[in-house]
A and B are shown apart, each in its own frame.
Chain A
Amino acid sequence: MTQLKKRVLVYGYGNPGREDDGLGIEMIKMVQEWIDKHKLGCMTTESNYQLNIEDAEKISEWDIAVFVDASKDEDLNEFIFRKVEPSDAKVEFTMHAVSPSYVLHLSEKLFKKSPETYILGIKGYKWDFKEGLSANAKLNLEQAFQYLTRKLAGWALIKKNLPISMLS
């Protein structure tokens, strides 16, 4: 089994019943298959409708956390991968979900753990009451998957199970 230098959690969220809002969940299915195929130990995936305060405890158990979500950002090309900084931005109105930066902040403050945290935002286009991704979202998902798995491979300590193309 391939070990990682660091223990990694990949956490996708969204509502797969709302078309491209399911991008994060779809990515998790693909990443978990990839993890299983390459026997990457010390790495796991998680998914949910949205992030909430209890996720602070979850990410506190990992060295690296990668959140995956759909993005409505019109200016985005296919996807964006960026580091998340903790933020104490206050809760918005009656909102019942929280942001990755807020989850990280809670992890630091409540559990004294600061995992290296990233967000992978994948551009979506359609948000109706329907399962299945739009054609353009699928293309973005594939590109984001290629990018993310390279990052994950880069965190692997023993790389013998990884494809040669990922060993550079």
Chain B
Amino acid sequence: MPKKITIEPVTRIEGHGKVTIKIDDNGKVRESRLHIVEFRGFERFVQGRPYWEAPVLVQRLCGICPVSHHLAAAKALDVIVGAGTGDGLTAVGEKMRRLMHYGQFFQSHVLHFFHLSSPDFLFGIDADPAIRNVIGVIKHHKDLAVQGVMMRKYGQEIIMHTAGKKIHGTGAIPGGINKNLSIAERDLLLNGTDPLNADKMVEWSVAALEFFKVYHKSNATLVDTFAEFPSNHLSMVRKDGALDIYHGVLRAVDADGKRILNDVDYQDYDKYIEEEVRNWSYMKFPYLKHLGKEKGWYRVGPLARLNVCDFIPTPLAQKEFEEFKAYTTGKPNNMSLHYHWARLIETLHSAEAIRDLLKDSDLQNDDLVIKGEKTNKGVGVIEAPRGTLFHHYEINDNDQITLANLIVSTTNNNEPMNQAVNHTAKSFMNGQMEITEGMMNAVEVAIRAYDPCLSCATHALGQMPLEMKLVNANNEVIDSKTK
């Protein structure tokens, strides 16, 4: 009789996800699924609202990466107010947005590495959970833990000085920005008291990357084979092929590196991308239309970005990128745990880009906004820390939003995360009839590599336990575990 193992985190309002693993009487994994609830009703909610409110309204979606939504919405509205598609703004407008975005990227990647994934690397994914957590990191590698805290703080400072405030920032507006960076702010961020300055952030980013590489060298088999599976990869790249997290064209490659989406304008994203609805999940499954549902799904995020781009336009990150590419002899990297490697290269790139931008005097210019001839449709795409983020708005003659369509990063990674869970389940759970800590954590590690955002939007006092259930075909619980 088939049995199901369910991992079910009970969340507050958003982010309810669970893993269901079906096994037969012999303990052989038959099928695995990851179910996640996405942003319920938000797209309908913004309909009827004045378009200029969107960059602030969308920050209600998520307290984790509000800057990504803020900027994606602003980019879509740039098109609507006739300010071009991302690269049509004034120098200060574009560079302030880029600085804000790099600040967000930096602090988000840092949180993931130091707080969520480093315990797995320091102690091993099969280590005692009493040790394998950030408390263990503090105990055994205190310097690393302090670095993580201070790097997060630095990224938050960048956001505050570019977005204007921490909550519901207003820095990006249709056609530009509403503030530049003062000399005092620049000096604070560039040359602040140690360690809160740009040079130290670059130095620490290099050290974090080195930490991962040392771990990888000693644990190559695990890191290279854990949830490894072929896939397509999609991201935005600059028109010359450089990694660009703020603006560019859409490109996708297959598992062998063949170009399957060739630098297309994201204003036409809906010509290329379709979203499939499956009856067992609230979250849709995007895929490339011309390849179909079965073959068209793709990964997004750090791994995909480094698989898709040709180079990284900052020197230290470029050097690391070359080493990363050499590891797979230039072919796309399909190893899930290499998301962490890619994420740390991007962290270094962000630190370098922040330092370069802070030295750019364009940030003190006063020509903040431009406008042109208004249109009724705009699409904004940005590479959020977790992957490609699409915002699409249409308005009527009264400037009210009539249509909003969002494809968020975690949605783009829906099928890859399901694949990762399935591969992990088959590796770790075949022959197992009971829930073990190791099984739970293996599945978590697989999902965690993609850094999905499951707990967005609200933060009421409460708890988010992880619950695992073993049920039979009649949905009777025969075993359960909560952590």
Contacts and interface: CB of A to CB of B under 8 A. Distances in A.
B112 to A, nearest CB: 8
Contacts of B444: 93-94
Interface stretch (A11-19, A37-45, A146-154, A159-167): A11-19
Nearest to A121: B461
B168 A17 contact: yes
B466 A71 contact: no
A75 interface: no
Contacts of B452: 94
Contacts of A72: 12, 460-462
Contacts of B156: 54
Given A50-B63, A54-B153, A121-B461, A91 B134 contact: yes
Given A53-B115, A56-B149, A127 B458 contact: yes
A167 to B, nearest CB: 31
A25 B167 CA distance: 9
Interface string B446-483: 01100111110111111111100000000000000000
B135 A90 contact: yes
A25 B166 CA distance: 11
A115 interface: no
Interface in A2-55: 13-18, 20-21, 25, 47-50, 52-54
A97 B459 contact: yes
A141 interface: no
Interface residues of B, number: 53
B460 A69 contact: yes
A70 B461 contact: yes
A94 B167 contact: no
B129 interface: yes
B216 to A, nearest CB: 22
A44 to B, nearest CB: 14
B460 A14 contact: yes
B460 A127 contact: yes
Which secondary structure characterizes the binding site on chain A? loop
A96 B111 CA distance: 8
B255 interface: no
Interface in A104-143: 105-106, 109-110, 119, 121, 124, 127, 129, 131
A85 interface: no
Contacts of B153: 54, 57-58
Interface stretch (B138-146, B342-350, B368-376): B138-146
B64 interface: yes
Contacts of A97: 63-64, 455, 459
Contacts of B116: 91, 94, 96
Contact of B459 (A49, A54, A56, A129): A49
A92 B464 contact: yes
Contacts of B134: 90-91
B457 A18 contact: yes
A53 B148 contact: yes
Nearest to A122: B461
B168 A69 contact: no
Interface of A: 13-18, 20-21, 25, 47-50, 52-54, 56-58, 69-73, 88, 90-97, 105-106, 109-110, 119, 121, 124, 127, 129, 131
16 contacts: A14-B458, A15-B459, A17-B57, A17-B168, A18-B13, A48-B167, A50-B63, A53-B148, A57-B150, A58-B153, A72-B12, A73-B461, A73-B462, A88-B133, A93-B466, A109-B135
Interface of B: 9, 12-13, 41-42, 45, 57, 59-61, 63-64, 66, 111, 114-116, 129, 133-135, 138-139, 142, 145-146, 148-150, 152-153, 156, 166-168, 444, 447-448, 451-455, 457-466
Given A15-B63, A110-B145, A127-B13, 17 more contacts: A15-B167, A15-B459, A18-B13, A49-B66, A49-B459, A53-B148, A53-B149, A57-B150, A69-B460, A71-B461, A72-B461, A88-B135, A94-B454, A96-B116, A96-B453, A110-B138, A129-B60
